Amino acid sequence: MLTSRSVLRALALASALAASRQAFGQGVPARQANRTQLPAATYRPEFGTMWTFDAPPLDYWRRTYGFAPDQKWLDHVRLSTVRLPICSASFVSSRGLVMTNHHCGRECTAGVSPPDSNYIQTGFAARTLADEKKCAGLYVDQLQSIQNVTDRVRGAITGKTPAEQAAQRGAVISQLQNECNQQTQLTCQVVTLYNGGIYSMYRYRRFNDIRLVMAPEGDIAFYGGDPDNFTYPRYDLDLTLLRVYENGQPYSPPDYLKWSPAGAVENELVFVVGNPGSTGRLNTISQMEFLRDIGYPATLAAYKRALAIYAELARTDTSAARRYQNDVFGV
């Protein structure tokens, strides 16, 4: 299971919304194709597989699911999706409405709360555009293009020692990103895939005027907590609605995902698009033993110390509990 808090800052089939094959009028209904083509409900080799937008396995999708999206569909899904600094999100309306998980907007929700009310606890809903609250420092990025820069990166690495190679790699990546930023006026990031097997330049359009539209009460947004989040389907209202503004007006995205009242059905083909957390599937036995015996125990001990410090601060300062509520939630 991918965590939503450990974010790989690369867009791999791009938000927290699902885009089924029926979206954007593509192909035979997925529920019909899956009923006849999916293997028995045992181990499925394709389960959990991730792909990037520059390398969609079109032939595999066609043979396995009878699904053959064209470039227009892929572009639509990519442009409908945005990333927050640590989360995935998607445009869900023609007036710049963005949907994401509740914890992804917690910093904004807490930041716009007035002294006499904590929106994390009470929730917030803007009645009009004028009531929407500007989120200080928050932005969303929309992926515009991907370019393979592997040869450029590898060609710059000539050092004999690991330290020299690491320094050269960092230098050429910084150079590539700076060049891209200046040439395109976009936000550019070199993404490392497959432990250095591929280096890709991701170019994003950044929107800096983001406003809070709606966030439910924290208790209903996080009902069930992390145990349910990572083990069972949670029956909660885990969302935050934001709005992107441009030149002081709600942005009108040409591409956005549309609400499906019917939802998905059993065995229907579904794509989840966004910024996935890191995966440990390629870890060696030695790496997993290190994490089990050293890494994870050290991390848990650090969490325990941090919680004790926050608890002591809250005990001696009545305002500390609210001030550090997001830090405690993050632990």
Residues 238, 228: Cα–Cα separation, whole Å: 12
Domains of the chain, by residue range, sit at: 12-140+207-274, 141-206, 285-330
> Pairing relation of β-strands 12-20 and 140-148?
unpaired
pTM: 0.78
Question: What does the block give as tokens for 108?
Answer: 């904004």
Q: What is the pLDDT along the chain (331 residues), one digit of tens a residue?
A: 333 333 333 333 433 333 333 333 333 334 333 334 444 434 445 555 788 999 999 998 998 889 999 999 999 999 999 999 989 999 999 999 999 999 999 999 999 999 889 999 999 999 999 999 999 999 999 999 999 999 999 999 999 999 999 999 999 999 999 999 999 999 999 999 888 889 999 999 999 999 999 999 999 988 888 776 677 777 889 999 999 999 999 999 999 999 889 888 888 888 889 887 777 777 899 999 999 999 999 999 999 999 998 888 888 887 777 777 778 777 7
Closest CA to 118 of 321, 331, 330, 327: 321
Task: Name all contacts of 325-330 with Cβ < 8 Å and 24+ positions apart.
Answer: 325/110, 325/118, 325/120, 326/106, 326/107, 326/110, 326/120, 329/103, 329/106, 330/5
- Tokens 């064209």 locate to 70
